[in-house]
């Protein structure tokens, strides 16, 4: 079972769409968790961002044992020390991953709100990070959600559903490693 | 596709290290972590990483730049990206001067780092393709275990193919170390007898009587110690090929016996009376001028002509210098693997040195030279410094003609005297050049009564 964990202020219809998308793409039942507090120590005052790895560590410790995979959705901007920001972060073939929707919102770039666009972007990143949890690495197909997008233009270019080769790889991984 | 390029992230900040490693793993690179410069060097010794991310500021006496220098000592073509918090011009200049391929200022844009890694890996892929191409070239110039692109050697390859399935005896001539046995094997394994035994005998290694029983076997009680019957090499080679190396060194009696085997295709075991018939192809080899030995009466003329039905002359390595690069690459690849050394290349200067060297010991000397250099090599590329032992011997070997009428002791005395003179009586250097320790040198000087040039003041 995949646990879907909203953190901070995330609209419930966004969580719902994410839940449906995960179930559809990965074939696991998805359990929606009640919203969690963002750990205060993960906030970096100087950078005014949240450390993704601190949050992943917290989730790893607090999530119930029966949670096979955990994906968190957060409305805050995430970082790792070497990079200026990350859209999301997952332990490769690990248990926990996280997606930030801060930079997926049009408001971040000074435009009016666009609910449909932010949902669409979120679905791509949710699929992307969950793909990492199931052993997928970055894809060369720029229309596949598993391609690495480092800016919003590239993110908007890719689609929501996995390309044929990633689908195949996912299927193989499921059989070999995750049964 | 990129899975075989491994990355090491080095940072004392555990979170920075772990998160960057995770990010690179998502991109498909197997990534390890080290939390100090010392740990990084330990890990690098065990594995040749394609790329290092190195934090500039690390405690424990080794910062990023110092660690990078040590790693570049181990692997000349290691790519290092220095991560720094502040872009000072000084840092950048130092990092680049010391050979970091790039440096990044953290926090850095994900796009920037992604492009940087792609660019470095693209170069690595190209380099790998070049290495693969070179390997393919070696294969192209390979005939059995002989590697050459020299026209004379090509003629020999063709001759080997033509005569492989004949029964005629073959005489292979060439200086020592030119690969006479390899040619003999190539003949055997290219022909009809390939699935039958190939038996090799070095005629110079054994005394006359021993060689006789080695070749023809013996009956029980043929001599003291012959407690049971034993088959000789000719019987073992039945149906196949016998390779008689250093045939120029056999005694007149054995020359007679051999002639009989060739003429009548039969022989007796030592102490035996039963005629034994075998079907064996004889390939003989020598580094001597056999015709001269025939003229002076040391070698039976008839045997010479019986052996010399097909003659193959292998040119010395100095007459086919174009093969040296091919052979050098081949030996590096093969021996580095055997010796488990992580060496895969050689500098241009070192290659030049090997091409210019005279190689009195031919391919075998080249092989030994590469082996010795590999053993002492401290990086993953052989350089001139790894061959210094060769240049100290160089001037000597070029004028050296091998004396063939002196006792070994006389030769030893002359060599010690000459070396001492060249090195102005320096005992330490003389011992090093001669490859013996100083106490042995003292002993020999005393034994041969060699006058010392000056008092040893060490
Ligand atoms: Zn894909
Ligand atoms: Zn990714």
Contact yes or no for B19 and A81 at CB 8 A: yes
**Contacting residues of B for A148, CB less than 8 Å apart:** 26-27, 114
Contact yes or no for A86 and B108 at CB 8 A: no
Closest residue in B to A151 (Cα–Cα): B111
Closest residue in B to A132 (Cα–Cα): B26
A37 or B398, which is more confident: A37
pLDDT of B397 reads 45
Domain B2-137 and domain B151-315, same fold? Reply is yes
Nearest to A89 among B22, B53, B114 (CB): B22
Rounded to a whole number, what is the distance in angstroms from the first to the last CA of chain B?
Answer: 61
Interface test with A, best of B9, B20, B110, B117 (most A CBs within 10 A): B110
What are the distances in angstroms from CA B195 to CA B66, B161, B306? Answer: 58, 16, 26
Assigned architecture for domain B151-315: 3-Layer(aba) Sandwich (3.40)
Angle between helices B427-434 and B438-448 (to 10 degrees): 100
Please tell me whether residue B245 adopts helix, strand or coil conformation.
strand
**pLDDT tens profile A20-33:** 889 889 988 888 88
What are the distances in angstroms from CA B337 to CA B60, B76, B131? Answer: 35, 19, 15
Q: How many whole angstroms from B374 Cα to the centroid of ligand 2? A: 42
Chain A residues with CB-CB distance to B under 8 A? 47, 51-54, 79-86, 89-92, 132, 137-138, 148, 150-151
Count of CB atoms situated within 10 Å of the CB of A68: 13
pLDDT of B92 reads 67
Assigned architecture for domain B2-137: 3-Layer(aba) Sandwich (3.40)
Catalytic residue (one of A54, A129, A172, A176): A129
**pLDDT in 10s for each residue of chain B, 458 residues:** 445 789 999 999 999 999 999 999 988 899 999 999 999 999 999 988 999 999 988 888 888 888 888 888 888 778 899 888 876 666 666 767 666 778 888 888 888 888 899 888 888 888 877 777 777 766 777 888 888 888 899 899 999 999 999 999 999 999 989 999 999 999 999 889 988 999 999 888 778 888 888 999 998 888 888 888 889 999 999 999 999 999 998 989 889 989 988 888 888 898 888 888 889 999 999 998 898 999 999 999 999 999 999 999 999 999 998 899 989 998 998 888 888 888 888 998 999 999 988 898 999 999 999 999 998 888 889 999 899 888 655 444 444 566 677 788 888 888 888 888 777 777 888 888 888 888 888 888 888 887 765 544 33
Annotated domain spans of chain A: 2-177
**Contacting residues of B for A141, CB less than 8 Å apart:** none
Q: How far is CA B260 from the centre of its chain?
A: 39
* CA–CA dist B351, B324 (Å, integer): 8
* CA–CA dist B331, B58 (Å, integer): 41
Q: How many whole angstroms from B57 Cα to the centroid of ligand 2? A: 28
Q: Does the A2-177 domain belong in CATH 1.10.8.60?
A: no
Tokens standing for residue B234: 């000719």
Neighbours of ion ligand 2 (CB under 5 A): B 26
Q: How many whole angstroms from B120 Cα to the centroid of ligand 1? A: 23
H-only helix segments in B217-251: 233-236
Q: What is the DSSP letter of A36?
A: B
Let me know if A54 is a catalytic residue: no
- B320-387: what fold? Helicase, Ruva Protein; domain 3 (1.10.8)
Contact yes or no for B23 and A83 at CB 8 A: yes
Q: Please, are residues B30 and B72 in contact by the beta-carbon 8 Å criterion? A: no
pLDDT of B2 reads 47
**Contacting residues of B for A80, CB less than 8 Å apart:** 15-16, 19-20, 22-23
Q: Which ligand is nearest to the CA of A148?
A: 2
Angle at B12 between CA B8 and CA B17, to 5 degrees: 45
**Contacting residues of B for A90, CB less than 8 Å apart:** 22, 26
Band (A106; pLDDT cuts 50, 70, 90): very high
What are the distances in angstroms from CA B40 to CA A59, B63, B64, B310? Answer: 30, 11, 10, 61
Count Cβ atoms within 10 A of the Cβ of residue B162 and give its class: 0-12 exposed, 13-18 middle, 19 or more buried.
exposed
Q: How many whole angstroms from A132 Cα to the centroid of ligand 2? A: 7
pLDDT of B449 reads 80
Q: How many whole angstroms from A63 Cα to the centroid of ligand 1? A: 30
Please tell me whether residue A62 adopts helix, strand or coil conformation.
helix
Closest CA relative to residue B252, chosen from B306, B297, B213, B295 = B297
Q: Please, are residues B236 and B217 in contact by the beta-carbon 8 Å criterion? A: no
Closest CA relative to residue A14, chosen from A128, A102, A142, A143 = A102
Angle between helices B89-97 and B64-74 (to 10 degrees): 10
- What's the mean pLDDT in A67-96? 93
Q: How far is CA B288 from the centre of its chain?
A: 25
pLDDT of B420 reads 81
pLDDT of A147 reads 93
Bin B61: left if φ > 0, else alpha if -120 < ψ < 50, else beta. left
**ipTM score over 0.95, yes or no:** no
* CA–CA dist A136, A92 (Å, integer): 8
pLDDT of B421 reads 76
Beta strands B310-313; B381-382: pairing state: unpaired
Q: A111 to chain B, minimum CA–CA distance in Å?
A: 22
pLDDT of B398 reads 45
* CA–CA dist B419, B160 (Å, integer): 44
> Which CATH number applies to B400-458: 1.10.10.60, 1.10.150.240, 3.40.50.12780, 3.40.50.150?
1.10.10.60
Q: Please, are residues B218 and B188 in contact by the beta-carbon 8 Å criterion? A: no
**Contacting residues of A for B114, CB less than 8 Å apart:** 148, 150
Contact yes or no for B111 and A151 at CB 8 A: yes
A to B CB pairs, distance under 8 Å: 74
Nearest to B19 among A53, A84, A137 (CB): A53
Please tell me whether residue A47 adopts helix, strand or coil conformation.
coil
**Contacting residues of B for A86, CB less than 8 Å apart:** 23, 110
* CA–CA dist B180, B188 (Å, integer): 13
Give me the half-sphere count of Cα atoms (radius 13 Å) on the Cβ side of residue A118: 24
Angle at A85 between CA A81 and CA A87, to 5 degrees: 125
């Amino acid at each position: 079972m995949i646990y879907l964990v909203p953190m901070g202020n995330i609209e419930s219809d966004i969580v719902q769409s994410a839940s449906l998308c995960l179930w559809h793409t990965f074939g696991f039942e998805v359990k929606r968790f009640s919203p969690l507090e963002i750990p205060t120590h993960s906030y970096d005052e100087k950078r005014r961002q949240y450390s993704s790895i601190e949050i992943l560590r917290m989730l790893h410790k607090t999530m119930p044992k029966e949670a096979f995979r955990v994906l968190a959705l957060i409305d805050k901007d995430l970082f790792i020390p070497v990079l200026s920001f990350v859209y999301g972060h997952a332990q490769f073939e690990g248990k926990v991953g996280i997606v930030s929707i801060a930079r997926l919102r049009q408001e971040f770039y000074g435009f009016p709100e666009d609910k449909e666009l932010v949902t669409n972007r979120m679905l791509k990143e949710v699929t992307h990070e969950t793909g990492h949890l199931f052993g997928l690495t970055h894809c060369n197909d720029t229309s596949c959600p598993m391609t690495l997008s480092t800016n919003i233009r590239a993110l908007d270019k890719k689609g929501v559903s996995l390309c044929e080769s990633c689908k195949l790889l996912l299927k193989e991984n499921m059989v070999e490693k995750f049964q | 596709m990129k899975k075989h390029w491994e990355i090491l992230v080095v940072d004392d900040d555990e979170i920075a290290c772990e998160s960057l490693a995770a990010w690179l793993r998502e991109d498909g690179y197997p990534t390890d972590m080290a939390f100090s410069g010392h740990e990084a060097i330990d890990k690098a010794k065990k594995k040749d990483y394609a790329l290092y991310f190195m934090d500039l500021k690390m405690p424990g006496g080794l910062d990023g730049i110092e660690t990078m220098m040590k790693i570049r000592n181990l692997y000349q073509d290691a790519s290092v990206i220095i991560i720094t918090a502040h872009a000072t011009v000084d840092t950048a200049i130092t990092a680049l001067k010391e050979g970091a391929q790039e440096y990044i200022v953290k926090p850095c844009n994900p796009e920037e780092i992604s492009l940087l890694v792609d660019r470095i890996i693209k170069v690595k892929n190209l380099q790998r393709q070049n290495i693969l191409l070179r390997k393919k070239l070696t294969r192209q110039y390979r005939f059995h275990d002989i590697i050459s692109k020299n026209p004379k050697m090509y003629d020999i390859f063709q001759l080997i193919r033509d005569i492989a399935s004949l029964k005629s005896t073959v005489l292979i001539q060439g200086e020592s170390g030119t690969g006479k046995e390899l040619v003999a094997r190539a003949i055997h394994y290219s022909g009809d007898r390939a699935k039958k035994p190939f038996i090799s005998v070095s005629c110079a290694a054994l005394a006359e009587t021993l060689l006789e029983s080695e070749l023809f076997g013996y009956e029980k009680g043929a001599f003291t110690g012959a407690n049971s019957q034993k088959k000789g090499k000719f019987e073992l080679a039945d149906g196949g090929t016998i390779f008689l190396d250093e045939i120029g060194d056999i005694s007149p009696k054995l020359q007679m016996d051999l002639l009989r085997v060739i003429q009548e295709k039969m022989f007796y075991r030592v102490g035996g009376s039963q005629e034994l018939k075998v079907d064996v192809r004889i390939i003989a080899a020598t580094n001597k001028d056999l015709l001269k030995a025939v003229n002076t009466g040391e070698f039976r003329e008839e045997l010479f002509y019986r052996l010399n039905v097909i003659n193959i002359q292998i040119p010395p390595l100095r007459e086919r210098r174009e093969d040296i690069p091919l052979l050098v690459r081949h030996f590096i690849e093969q021996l580095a693997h055997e010796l488990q050394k992580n060496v895969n290349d050689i500098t241009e200067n070192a290659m030049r040195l090997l091409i210019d060297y005279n190689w009195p010991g031919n391919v075998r000397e080249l092989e030994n030279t590469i082996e010795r250099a590999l053993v002492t090599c401290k990086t993953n590329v052989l350089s001139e410094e790894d061959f210094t032992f060769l240049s100290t011997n160089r001037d000597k070997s070029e004028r050296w003609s091998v004396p063939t009428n002196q006792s070994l002791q006389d030769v030893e005395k002359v060599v010690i005297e000459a070396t001492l003179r060249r090195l102005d009586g320096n005992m330490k250097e003389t011992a090093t050049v001669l490859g013996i320790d100083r106490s042995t040198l003292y002993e020999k000087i005393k034994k041969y009564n060699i006058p010392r040039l000056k008092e040893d003041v060490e």
